[in-house]
């Protein structure tokens, strides 16, 4: 493999793509992962099922054609994955032992418990997980188990929403597809307790470690569920979490899907979520990011029936040399749907944030109501935000607006607080907290909002 490029800059490296590669991809970067896959694939769960093998092979084939995206790719202009190529990741081994988990993150009140699945380096840890308290008929299990024992539960949905296409990371995840949470809520069932999904990155001190968790969430018609994903890091080795999630929201169903990513700063966190929302359905997604060296959350959601409601929001806080990318795509494929996006970010030191938000209103999608806002607060001269809001509208009776702002803390507000005796650091803290609180207010679930608020405070206090 000709890994001649070592710089992390944005200048294009020497061309080493074979003639077949589409522009903006680097197929050479695929090789180590393909070799690993070929060694591993016989041992992956569900290998006796032809449809599973086909799915993986399609993923492998597409990733072989594409490799990782480069900054020449419009969707990856501001997020450079070249560092991944240099790190020589090894796939996580299944049996990770010797790590103790005394306190796993939770949004629940102390002393209470509820349904929870725990994954360590992408692999399920049954002894830390529980399905207690779920209503009858609700399935909550790990994908490896589902592929082995209940393939029909996932066969209808797996790989249908997140397809490799021009998405090499989805292709890579699909090739390595092995484990991750599966949640199936049958028609009309409301799950009262939030379902917590805990992903712990441990890695290894010997070598960089990669894993590819796959999430499948199906809420049938009139179902309701709240999901909270925690992504945390233990250990110090470099890790790559390349997750893909598929979320099916049935007619008049509602899925509240919240995520907090607090991985350590040697972690690469790449995540792709694809959601489809039926008529009168609600998909409510919120992502809080404070962790990882480099992270990207890509959320793509599509309306599949009229009067649907998609709400994708988040808050990100980065410092040091962290990089955080939020890329959203909302597809108003049918009329009379509402989408709302509110993102707020605080960027300090030399950290960098990217926000790409696209709203597509297809022909005939009349009475669409789309709102998008990204506001960034830059705390240092060297902090950076690249924002690219995009509205693409092919219908004439629509209401769509977007706004992107970037600014510093307000001098007048700072002085007002200081003139009342509040010292400079505390005054800055109050203003930053207030700025982020506006994003957290987008979370309708009170318990989750309060827990996330505590993560925000912890980030502020970690200065």
Partner 1 sequence: MIEIKNLHATVDGKEILKGINLTIRPGEVHAIMGPNGSGKSTLSYVLAGREGYEITKGSVEYFGQDLLAMEPEERAGAGVFLAFQYPVEIPGVANTTFLKSALNAIRKQRGEQELDAMQFLKLVREKTKALNMTDEMLKRAVNVGFSGGEKKRNETLQMAVLQPKFAILDETDSGLDIDALKIVAEGVNALRSPERAMLVITHYQRLLDYIVPDYVHVLAHGKIQRSGGKELALELEKNGYAEFGVNEAA
Residue in 8, 42, 421, 462 binding partner 1, rule: CB under 8 A:
421
If the CB atoms of residues 98 and 421 are measured against partner 1, the closer one turns out to be 421
State the nearest-atom distance from the C-beta of 28 to partner 1, in Å: 48
Stretch that binds partner 1, among 2-10, 146-154, 228-236, 414-422 (CB under 8 A): 414-422
State the nearest-atom distance from the C-beta of 349 to partner 1, in Å: 23
Residue 435 in the binding site for partner 1 (CB under 8 A): yes
Residue given tokens 């240099």 in the structure block: 86
If the CB atoms of residues 245 and 314 are measured against partner 1, the closer one turns out to be 314
Residue 31 in the binding site for partner 1 (CB under 8 A): no
Contact set for partner 1, span 240-259 (CB under 8 A): none
If the CB atoms of residues 63 and 435 are measured against partner 1, the closer one turns out to be 435
Residue given tokens 């894993």 in the structure block: 211
If the CB atoms of residues 161 and 406 are measured against partner 1, the closer one turns out to be 406
If the CB atoms of residues 100 and 420 are measured against partner 1, the closer one turns out to be 420
Residue 446 in the binding site for partner 1 (CB under 8 A): no
Between helix 50-66 and helix 168-176 the angle, nearest 10°, is 140
By CB under 8 A, how many residues form the interface with partner 1? 22
Residue in 86, 399, 424, 463 binding partner 1, rule: CB under 8 A:
424
Stretch that binds partner 1, among 65-73, 224-232, 366-374, 435-443 (CB under 8 A): 435-443
Contact set for partner 1, span 340-399 (CB under 8 A): none
If the CB atoms of residues 38 and 438 are measured against partner 1, the closer one turns out to be 438
Count Cβ atoms below 10 Å from residue 65 Cβ, excluding itself: 17
Length of the chain: 463
Residue 409 in the binding site for partner 1 (CB under 8 A): no
Residue 454 in the binding site for partner 1 (CB under 8 A): no
State the nearest-atom distance from the C-beta of 431 to partner 1, in Å: 7
Instruction: Please state, in angstroms and rounded to a whole number, the distance separating the CA atoms of residues 7 and 452.
Output: 36
Stretch that binds partner 1, among 94-102, 242-250, 252-260, 433-441 (CB under 8 A): 433-441
If the CB atoms of residues 23 and 420 are measured against partner 1, the closer one turns out to be 420
Residue in 430, 445, 447, 453 binding partner 1, rule: CB under 8 A:
430
Residue in 321, 380, 415, 463 binding partner 1, rule: CB under 8 A:
415
Q: Kindly give, in sequence order, each residue whose CB lies less than 8 Å from that of residue 355, ignoring residues fewer than 6 positions away.
A: 325, 326, 327, 343, 345, 374, 376, 385, 386, 387, 388, 389, 404
State the nearest-atom distance from the C-beta of 406 to partner 1, in Å: 17
Residue 416 in the binding site for partner 1 (CB under 8 A): yes
Nearest to 122 by CA among 45, 201, 35: 201
| Exposure string for 87-104, b = 16+ CB within 10 A, e = fewer | bebebbeeebeeeebeee
Residue 438 in the binding site for partner 1 (CB under 8 A): yes
CA distances from 101 to 123, 171, 234, 249 (A): 15, 32, 9, 33
Residue in 127, 205, 396, 411 binding partner 1, rule: CB under 8 A:
411
State the nearest-atom distance from the C-beta of 456 to partner 1, in Å: 12
Stretch that binds partner 1, among 42-50, 188-196, 254-262, 410-418 (CB under 8 A): 410-418
Count Cβ atoms below 10 Å from residue 386 Cβ, excluding itself: 16
Residue 412 in the binding site for partner 1 (CB under 8 A): yes
If the CB atoms of residues 17 and 422 are measured against partner 1, the closer one turns out to be 422
Residue 419 in the binding site for partner 1 (CB under 8 A): yes
Instruction: Please state, in angstroms and rounded to a whole number, the distance separating the CA atoms of residues 424 and 357.
Output: 34
Instruction: Please state, in angstroms and rounded to a whole number, the distance separating the CA atoms of residues 247 and 214.
Output: 11
If the CB atoms of residues 7 and 412 are measured against partner 1, the closer one turns out to be 412
Residue in 88, 426, 454, 458 binding partner 1, rule: CB under 8 A:
426
Residue 450 in the binding site for partner 1 (CB under 8 A): no
Stretch that binds partner 1, among 83-91, 217-225, 330-338, 432-440 (CB under 8 A): 432-440
Residues near partner 1, by CB under 8 A: 411-413, 415-424, 426-427, 430-431, 433-435, 437-438
């Amino acid at each position: 493999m000709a890994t001649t490029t070592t710089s992390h800059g944005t200048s294009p490296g020497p061309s080493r793509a074979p003639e077949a590669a589409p522009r903006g991809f680097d197929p050479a970067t695929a090789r180590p992962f393909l070799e690993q896959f070929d060694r591993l694939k016989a041992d992956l769960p569900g290998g006796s099922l032809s449809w599973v093998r086909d799915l993986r092979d399609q993923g492998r084939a597409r990733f072989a054609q594409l490799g990782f995206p480069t900054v020449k790719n419009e969707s990856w202009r501001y997020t450079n994955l070249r560092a991944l190529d240099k790190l020589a990741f090894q796939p996580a081994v299944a049996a990770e032992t010797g790590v103790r988990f005394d306190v796993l993150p939770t949004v629940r009140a102390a002393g209470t418990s509820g349904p929870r699945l725990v994954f360590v380096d992408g692999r399920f840890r049954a002894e830390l997980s529980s399905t207690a308290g779920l209503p009858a008929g609700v399935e909550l299990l790990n994908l490896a188990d589902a592929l082995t024992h209940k393939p029909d539960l996932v066969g209808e949905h797996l790989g249908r929403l997140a397809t490799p296409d021009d998405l090499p990371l989805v292709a890579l995840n699909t090739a390595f597809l092995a484990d991750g949470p599966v949640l199936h809520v049958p028609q009309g069932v409301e799950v009262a307790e939030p379902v917590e999904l805990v992903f712990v990155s441990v890695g290894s001190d010997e070598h960089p470690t990669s894993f590819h968790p796959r999430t499948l969430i199906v809420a049938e018609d009139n179902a309701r569920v709240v999901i909270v994903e925690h992504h945390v890091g233990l250990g110090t080795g470099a890790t790559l979490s390349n997750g893909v999630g598929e979320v099916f929201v049935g007619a008049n169903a509602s899925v509240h899907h919240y995520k907090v990513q607090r991985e350590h700063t040697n972690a690469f966190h790449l995540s792709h979520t694809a959601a489809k929302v039926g008529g009168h359905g609600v998909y409510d997604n919120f992502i809080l990011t404070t962790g990882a060296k480099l992270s990207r959350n890509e959320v793509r959601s599509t309306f599949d029936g009229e009067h649907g409601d998609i709400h994708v929001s988040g808050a990100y806080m980065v410092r040091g040399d962290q990089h955080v990318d939020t890329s959203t795509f909302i597809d108003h494929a049918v009329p009379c749907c509402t989408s709302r996006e509110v993102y707020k970010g605080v960027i300090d030191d030399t950290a960098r944030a990217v926000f790409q938000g696209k709203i597509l209103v297809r022909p005939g999608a009349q009475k669409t109501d789309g709102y998008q806002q990204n506001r960034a607060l830059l705390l240092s001269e060297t902090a950076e935000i690249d924002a690219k809001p995009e509205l693409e509208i092919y219908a004439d009776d629509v209401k769509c607006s977007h706004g992107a702002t970037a600014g510093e803390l307000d001098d007048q507000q700072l002085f007002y607080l200081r003139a009342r005796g509040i010292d400079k650091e505390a005054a800055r803290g109050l203003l930053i907290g207030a700025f982020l609180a506006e994003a957290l207010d987008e979370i309708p679930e009170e318990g989750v909002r309060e827990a996330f608020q505590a993560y925000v405070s912890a980030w502020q206090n970690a200065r």
